[in-house]
Amino acid sequence: MNGLTLLIIAAVVLTAAYLLYGRFLARSWGIDPAKKTPAREFEDGTEYVPSTPAVVFGHEFASIAGAGPINGPIIAAMFGWLPVLLWLLFGTVFFGAAHDFAALYTSVRNKGKSIGHVIELYVGKTGKRLFLIFIWLFSILIAGAFADIVAGTFAGFDPQGLEIKTNARVASASLLFVAAALGLGLLIRRRKASDLASGIIAVDLLIFCIVLGLFFPIFLPKGLWLVLVFGYIFIASVVPVWLLGQPRNYLNFFLLIAMILAAFIGVVFTRPEISIPPFTGFVVNGNYLFPGLFITIACGAISGFHSLVATGSVSKQIDNERYMLPISYGAMLLETLVAILALIAVGSLAKDGVLPGGTPTLIFATAVSGFLHQLGLPSDVSFSIVSLAVSSFVLTTLDTVARLGRLSFQELFAGDKESGVGADRSPGKGPARISAILQWVMGSKAASAFCTLLPAYLLAILGYQNIWALFGAANQLLAALTLLACALFLKRNSRKIVMLALPTAIMLIVTYSSLVLTIKTKIERVVSGNFDLGVDGMQLVIALALLILGILVGISCVIKLFSKEQSPRARP
């Protein structure tokens, strides 16, 4: 199979999906451009910030396009390119993009609230608390895995102590991006810069940061970078979204688009051959096609994390409902294009059907820089720029997940009133007073962020390889639970839910199967005496917690979905 042929097939399918199925969903559920969005109705300058569609799309795409669409397809290529391609295209069109649109639609019609709020509305407070605990654990997994990946791409020294110039360049440019984002955020917010003006300034800032990063690399060890990365995302999770998170994602959006265009052009002109078989077998190196393929490839086909982005931040920034389809469904399709490029990348580097060695991010950067080098760009420069773009994918996801994990933890300690965290200001005496004070402290931004990021840091020390399988299972289970919650909302408000039925059922089967297999494997290691208390013990505990929480929340939602009980409607 030629890489260009594969890319053309994907581009045609994804374009047709948006024009046909995406618009069908929008017509079926109803988009009202005249309805005031939560961003307009509850504007507060911190979380609810009405923004232009270009800025919100950039924020959405940069947030969801982390390491997932690169790691997943490259790892899953062990099964052959055909299963990967089919799941990416079919899964995206009917599962992932529909999931993202449904989550954003549901949140916007519920005052920009989270999926946890929707579950509370239709299932009850217990269901909401269980779901929030699930989200909190999931955020810890993402932060731990992705922080380790970022620190690895920044590490200025290899295990032998030799300098890694590419990584040092990436680290330097990334630090400059943070400073540039602060300035851009102030410009957009204070000066009300237009899309054109802010876009031109963003591109200029990107070029300036990249050039400086190439000439002034920063050499620091991975361990120190890990501490610095967690320090940065702690700050990013508590400051107003318009000051750092939104403008940084907007800046990175241009870099990511440039990388996608460069990879696209590289494939068009070099026409790389996919040197792996179409299909290698149902069991490869002890890995099963089912459920392994559907867990390994998460963000490129369907990802529960996207629902956190949609309902945690994007729904609070949408200026008009007519932008929901391109920002959600459209961004998911674009992410799938990245996953297709990752598949082409690993296939082009394979030799005689043997996959290349190295991390998925290294494989992707090597292949894309190779395409560009064939077009005349110096290999060291192209490799540095592609590596920078990949690290930007991951770091922007970290920005977002740190905020979402913090918000979930805060919501766990929120008072009963809608006014916010710790709404009850009458603590009483004795134990009640202590409980109220604890609730107020733990519900603060700083404490919530700390309680989320500290365990994530401890997991990151173990390395993302020991977290990735659990991340994939938790991610897909979150997608299934989100689809259930959205189906509940749509049914109670007389909207069609048949589009969500099949994706929900399949994802529940896939994720429960994966978690059960993980638990079975860990128990077998205990029996055989090969159980590592640190790594295996952590994985077993988290897998059990995710499975139990997922079953409890899933059963609660399914019971309510098929009951005839009438629940309150929300902004129909």
- For 325-356, letters b (16+ CB in 10 Å) and e give bbbbbbbbbbbbbbbbbbbbbbbbbbeeeebb
Please report the pLDDT score of residue 141 as a whole number: 86
- The listed range with the strongest mean pLDDT (96-100, 137-141, 291-295, 460-464) is 96-100
What Cα–Cα distance (Å) separates residue 436 from each residue in 59, 129, 410, 422, 424?
Answer: 36, 18, 14, 8, 8
Cα 208 from Cα 187, distance rounded (Å): 17
Question: β-strands 287-288, 283-284: how paired?
Answer: antiparallel
pLDDT band at 418 (very low <50, low <70, confident <90, very high): very low
Q: In terms of Cα–Cα distance, which of 54, 319, 332, 307 is closest to 198?
A: 54
Cα 470 from Cα 186, distance rounded (Å): 38
In a domain, 416, yes or no: no
Please report the pLDDT score of residue 419 as a whole number: 38
In a domain, 568, yes or no: no
Cα 567 from Cα 554, distance rounded (Å): 18
**pLDDT tops 80 at residue 552:** yes
Please report the pLDDT score of residue 394 as a whole number: 81
For the stretch 6-36, pLDDT in tens is 999 999 999 999 999 999 999 999 999 999 9
Indicate the range of 29-33, 222-226, 277-281, 472-476 predicted with least confidence.
472-476
Q: What is the mean pLDDT of residues 234-241?
A: 86
Please report the pLDDT score of residue 415 as a whole number: 52
Please report the pLDDT score of residue 96 as a whole number: 96
Amino acid identity of residue 472, one-letter, is G
389 vs 339, more confident: 339
In a domain, 570, yes or no: no
Task: Quickly count: other Cβ atoms within 10 Å of residue 281's Cβ.
Answer: 12
Q: What is the mean pLDDT of residues 509-529?
A: 92
Please report the pLDDT score of residue 428 as a whole number: 56
In a domain, 569, yes or no: no
**pLDDT tops 90 at residue 101:** yes
Write the CATH number for 24.
1.20.1740
Q: What is the mean pLDDT of residues 158-186?
A: 87
Please report the pLDDT score of residue 182 as a whole number: 84
pLDDT band at 459 (very low <50, low <70, confident <90, very high): confident
**pLDDT tops 50 at residue 505:** yes
In a domain, 494, yes or no: yes
Q: State whether the Cα torsion 138-139-144-149 is positive or negative.
A: positive
Cα 245 from Cα 235, distance rounded (Å): 10
Q: State whether the Cα torsion 39-44-45-47 is positive or negative.
A: negative
**pLDDT tops 70 at residue 540:** yes
In a domain, 198, yes or no: yes
Q: Using an 8 Å Cβ cutoff, are 491 and 561 in contact?
A: yes
Q: What is the mean pLDDT of residues 486-503?
A: 92
In a domain, 189, yes or no: yes
Q: Using an 8 Å Cβ cutoff, are 312 and 404 in contact?
A: yes
Amino acid identity of residue 558, one-letter, is V
Q: State whether the Cα torsion 138-140-146-149 is positive or negative.
A: negative
Q: What is the mean pLDDT of residues 535-555?
A: 88
* DSSP letter for each residue of 407-448: HHHHHHTB-SSTT-BT------STHHHHHHHHHHHHTSHHHH
pLDDT band at 487 (very low <50, low <70, confident <90, very high): very high
Domain of 101, in residue numbers: 3-410+421-562
Q: Using an 8 Å Cβ cutoff, are 305 and 401 in contact?
A: yes
The dihedral region occupied by 334, where left means phi > 0, alpha psi between -120 and 50, and beta the remainder, is: alpha
Q: Using an 8 Å Cβ cutoff, are 485 and 110 in contact?
A: no
368 vs 242, more confident: 368
65 vs 131, more confident: 131
Tell me, yes or no, if the pTM score tops 0.95. no
For the stretch 302-354, pLDDT in tens is 999 899 889 888 999 999 999 999 999 999 999 999 999 999 999 999 988 88
Cα 74 from Cα 344, distance rounded (Å): 9
Q: Give the CA angle between residues 358, 360, 366 to the nearest 5°.
A: 75
Q: For the chain, what is the domain count? A: 1
Q: What is the mean pLDDT of residues 209-238?
A: 92
Cα 56 from Cα 315, distance rounded (Å): 9
**pLDDT tops 50 at residue 423:** no
Helix (H, G, I), strand (E, B) or coil at 199: helix
- Mean pLDDT, all residues of the chain: 86
Q: Supply 104's token pair.
A: 């954003």
pLDDT band at 488 (very low <50, low <70, confident <90, very high): very high
In a domain, 572, yes or no: no
pLDDT band at 421 (very low <50, low <70, confident <90, very high): very low
pLDDT band at 59 (very low <50, low <70, confident <90, very high): confident
Q: Using an 8 Å Cβ cutoff, are 398 and 229 in contact?
A: yes
pLDDT > 90 fraction of the chain, expressed in percent and rounded: 42
Helix (H, G, I), strand (E, B) or coil at 273: strand
Cα 466 from Cα 459, distance rounded (Å): 9
Please report the pLDDT score of residue 539 as a whole number: 83
